[in-house]
Amino acid sequence: MRGQEFNAWSPDGGNPPEHISIIAFTRMLGGPIDFTPGAFELSLPTKENNQINTTLAQQLALYVVIYSPIQMACDLPENYENQPTFQFIRDVGVDWEQTQVLAGEVGDFVVIAREERETGNWFVGGVTDENSRSVTVNFDFLDDNKTYIATIYRDNDASHYKTNPTSIEIEKAEFVKGSAIDLIMKQGGGFAMSLMEKE
């Protein structure tokens, strides 16, 4: 498949925003993928007409949406310095007990939840194409009689994959089985969420 390196090599400006929402329903059905997520510098200074056509929130979501048991952070170390969003990369699992596809349309968007093996932590990632859209995440997959602390990394009102890709919001919330939240994924954007049992 065309990985993130294609953004630098492509003569046409890089992978289009709908790329992952297609891959999730095609190539991902064949097994694990090497995609190198986690770019925080989304412009490509060495390739004038190219960029990474996602928001920062979508870059985080890729750790959940794309299944890769050997994961990495693909950017330069200095681009992660003093970045509170890097906490999601520290927290996110790579070995999953179970996966649930919560919503999606081929070529438009996808929302996936994965339970980390042995910890019981859940992670949710959602990505969209070039269109902004609202999705409802229902937490029916959580264990009964447990409360989870969620950290949500999401696009904000200013986020846009072309004009403001690094604009992001981080918020905390508590959820139980049966809870739900509405989230807006901006153009080329998404969200990532960690859910850890409250002690």
> Is 174 known to be catalytic?
no
**CA-CA distance, 103 to 176, in Å (whole number)?**
19
Strand 109-116 with 180-185, pairing: unpaired
**CA-CA distance, 60 to 165, in Å (whole number)?**
12
Per the residue annotation, which of 5, 105, 171, 174 is the catalytic one?
Answer: 5
Closest CA to 21 of 178, 168, 135, 179: 135
Q: Which residues of 75-108 are buried (b: 16+ CB within 10 A; e: fewer)?
A: beeeeeeeeebbebbeebbeebeeeeebebeeee
Give me the active site residues, please: 5
